[in-house]
Chains A and B, each alone.
Chain A
Amino acid sequence: NFVLTQPHSVSESSGKTVTISCTRSTGSIASDFVQWYQQRPGSAPTTVMFENNQRPSGVPDRFSGSIDSSSNSASLTISGLKPEDEADYYCQSYDSNNQPPWVFGGGTKLTVL
């Protein structure tokens, strides 16, 4: 079974750029799509990235996603940080050989200083 590992927390100043990583333990990160969800305090999750690098309508282009086979990781990059970006971020992926097939990362708390 694979696990998605995220840093517990990251922090960066307003206006700067931050990258949140999501490392897959076994199997290729490229074998299935990675999604990213944002959850602000007291709110439901919302999708900020699907299929590795696709933004749902309404998500600003300050948000971008990528995968890196060399590190077997996915990344969510947020540029021009704003206070409202402060939230928990979760990555998620899929593997039919996994039990369960749908796997979430443990989440990263982003603090905007």
Chain B
Amino acid sequence: EVHLLESGGGLVQPGGSLRLSCSASDSLFSSYTLHWVRQAPGKGLEYVSTITTHGGYTYHADSVKGRFTISRDNSKNTLYLQMTRLRTEDTAVYFCANLRDKWGQGTLVTVSS
């Protein structure tokens, strides 16, 4: 069974950058279209970004378009989210998921001065 594990969260100042990673436990990782979903404190789930199995197609929500970039390295079973020009409203727990039956445990990103 594939398990997803996020890392890379932390405290960053507005305007700063951060790269999140999501590692999978086995090679079935490469068969999944994968997504980043976030949850601001006390709020619901919000869609962020998507990448298809071999990275040929990516999609970003309007709220992060031009600032966040999703990518993956199937040889390392790892998904990434490069976040730049961070804003206070990006503060959230970020989850990776296949939106079918796999979710990670989340990593907290706090954007604050």
Contact = CB atoms under 8 A, between A and B. Distances in A.
Contacts of A3: none
Contacts of A15: none
Contacts, number: 51
Select the residue from A90, A102, A106 with max chain B CB neighbours within 10 A: A102
Given A99-B62, A100-B61, A102-B50, A45 B44 contact: no
A2 interface: no
A36 B44 CA distance: 13
Contacts of A105: 44
Contact of A90 (B44, B50, B62): B44
Contact of A45 (B45, B46, B47, B61): B45
Q: Classify chain A: how many residues form its interface, as a range.
A: 20 to 34
B106 A100 contact: no
Contact of A35 (B46, B99, B106): B99
B68 interface: no
Contacts of B97: 45
A65 interface: no
A45 B95 contact: yes
Interface in B49-93: 50, 59, 61-62
Contacts of B105: 44
A46 interface: yes
A90 B45 contact: yes
B103 A45 contact: yes
Given A45-B103, A47-B101, A100 B59 contact: yes
B104 interface: yes
B42 to A, nearest CB: 11
A98 to B, nearest CB: 10
Interface of A: 35, 37, 39, 44-47, 50-51, 56, 88, 90, 92, 99-107
Interface of B: 35, 37, 44-47, 50, 59, 61-62, 95, 97, 99-106
**Which 8 pairs, one residue from A and one from B, show the smallest C-beta to C-beta distance?**
A56-B101, A107-B44, A47-B101, A104-B45, A44-B105, A102-B47, A50-B100, A44-B106
